[in-house]
Structure 1
Amino acid sequence: MRAPIFQLDAFTDRRFAGNPAAVMPMERFPEDAVLQALAAENNLAETAFLVRQGGDYRLRWFTPTVEVPLCGHATLASAAVVMERLEPGRDQVVFHSASGLLTVKRAAAGYVMDFPVRPSKPVAEPEGLAAALGAPLAAVHVNPFNYMAVLADPAVLRRLSPDLAAIAGFDRAGVIVTAPGDGPYDFVSRYFAPAKGIPEDPVTGSAHCMLAPYWAGRLGKTAFRAFQASPRGGEVVCRLVGERVELEGACVFYLEGHAEF
């Protein structure tokens, strides 16, 4: 088989920043083992696979080791591929996914994604989490997908060098770390998911589905400018709209070609 492949940097307006994603449009999905092998070969945090479904697209996301139920940056990249390469001039696309219908619209400086909220609740600090992160925790929240560790100081968050083997042993797929914003940002975050084959994800759209409702409660507002403080770094504009979160960001094309498998 042969399929187009695109690599884009998402949640950034310049190359070599944000979060790289591969996007592979296909006529049909091959077996899951083939999709997983392609994602492992691409060796990026996420590879998105697209199949046309009427006027919409079916969308699936794979890390190098597992399929995941939601991925923000690869959805952003997929929307850019549809609207800039597959159907130039189109200003909206609907993706059918494991997390339901995801609509992405063109915006002045990028694209706006409509994602489901991922609420969380406070819990007692899991044993070993502060030690694994190497920092004292002000609070911990949890939902079925991730733990979220809250720090008091954004400077401490930026310096974290966690024990990834220990983080992989917790009973959630990943750990979001967040702190109040510095500079122009309402809050900052990082995301570690070694259990999914992603030691640190550079910019994580799905994490902001948990971050936005948490910071709405803390800050008493529903629109945020956020920064994910990984070494690559990336900006995410978030808006809480009922049970949905709008995530806005830009994409930059890096590579275009074909893959044979």
Structure 2
Amino acid sequence: MELEFHQVDAFSERPFSGNPAMVYRLDSWLTDELMQHIAAEHNLAETAFLVREAQGWHIRWFTPTTEVPLCGHATLASAHVLFEVYNEPSERIDFIGKTGALSVTRENGRLLLDFPVLVPTNVGVTIELEQALGVDIVDVFGSAELMVLLESEQAVRDCKPDMAALARLPWPGVIITAKGNQHDFVSRYFAPGIGIPEDPVTGSTHCSLIPYWSNRLGKLGLTAYQCSARGGELFCRLEGDRVKIGGYARLVAKGTLLLG
């Protein structure tokens, strides 16, 4: 069996920046075990698998070690592949994922994710978290992930967490964030417990970041920057109980996986 794959750098116009994701458009589903093996073989933060169904494109996302319920950058990458490689005719692609309906549209040269809001609530600081991050913490919130507010963009950039300690925390991952210097806010995301020590650019974390910063800054439209080593810019809007997360994407590689 031969399977075609495409690698896309999401949330960037340039190759070798943003967040790389692998995309497989399948005619029918592979076994869960095989999809997990394929994701481990590519060893990127996310590998997305797509199958066309009656309601739209069913999408599943795998890290090198586990399947996850939601992934922004691999959804953006998948839409880019469907638009640019497979010539999807409409300006909107509807996806069905584990969290429900998702969509990606083309707007002003960018791709725009439509994701559900995940409002963070205050959960308080713990000694374990402070020790794991090794920085002064302003406040801590929780939703799907743990979201930690730091005092400045520089504090976010300088943070050097203890990955083993983060992996022991009872959360899938930890977001650190602060008000930005050139952008409305900045962030980084660590998820060593699911095989991602630091994710370069993470769309799904902005489901919590956008409502928090929108409320704090008193504005619905926001610019964001995830200041990992690769880095990536996101263009965000809060629209009721949905968030719009925009960015660019660049196809950087394609090939064939040989099985059997």
> TM-score of the superposition, structure 1-length normalised?
0.97
Amino acid at match of 2:66: V
How many residue pairs were aligned? 259
Which residue in 1 is equivalent to 2:188?
190
Which residue in 2 is equivalent to 1:239?
237
Deviations 1:84-139 (A, max 9, x none): 11125432110111011111111222211100011110112123112211110000
The CA distance in 1 between the partners of 2:88 and 2:141, in whole Å, is 42
Task: Out of 217-226 and 87-96, give the one that drifted further.
Answer: 87-96
Which residue in 2 is equivalent to 1:248?
246
Deviation above 4 Å: which 4+ runs of structure 1?
A: none
Task: Map 1:19-98 onto structure 2 (within 5 A).
Answer: 19-54=19-54, 56-98=56-98
Say whether residues 1:168 and 2:171 are aligned partners: no
Task: Out of 43-52 and 79-88, give the one that drifted further.
Answer: 79-88
CA contact (8 A) 1:83 1:92 kept: no
Q: Secondary structure at the match of 2:165?
A: helix
CA RMSD after TM alignment: 1.0
Which residue in 2 is equivalent to 1:177?
176
The CA distance in 2 between the partners of 1:146 and 1:245, in whole Å, is 16
Q: Secondary structure at the match of 1:44?
A: coil
CA drift of 1:260 comes to 1.9
The CA distance in 2 between the partners of 1:149 and 1:45, in whole Å, is 21
CA drift of 1:203 comes to 0.2
The CA distance in 2 between the partners of 1:179 and 1:63, in whole Å, is 27
Which residue in 1 is equivalent to 2:219?
221
Amino acid at match of 1:182: N
> Against the structure 1 CA distance between its residues 93 and 21, is the aligned structure 2 distance closer, same or farther, given a 3 Å change threshold?
same
CA drift of 1:214 comes to 0.7
Deviations 1:224-260 (A, max 9, x none): 0000000000001110101100000010000011112
The CA distance in 2 between the partners of 1:253 and 1:90, in whole Å, is 20
The CA distance in 2 between the partners of 1:3 and 1:87, in whole Å, is 19
The CA distance in 1 between the partners of 2:184 and 2:81, in whole Å, is 30
Unaligned segments of structure 1, at least 5 residues: none
Unaligned segments of structure 2, at least 5 residues: none
Q: Secondary structure at the match of 2:127?
A: coil
Amino acid at match of 1:178: T
Task: Out of 115-124 and 34-43, give the one that drifted further.
Answer: 115-124
The CA distance in 2 between the partners of 1:90 and 1:43, in whole Å, is 32
1:205 to 197, 203, 206: 203
The CA distance in 1 between the partners of 2:88 and 2:28, in whole Å, is 22
> TM-score of the superposition, structure 2-length normalised?
0.97
Amino acid at match of 1:155: Q
CA drift of 1:3 comes to 1.5
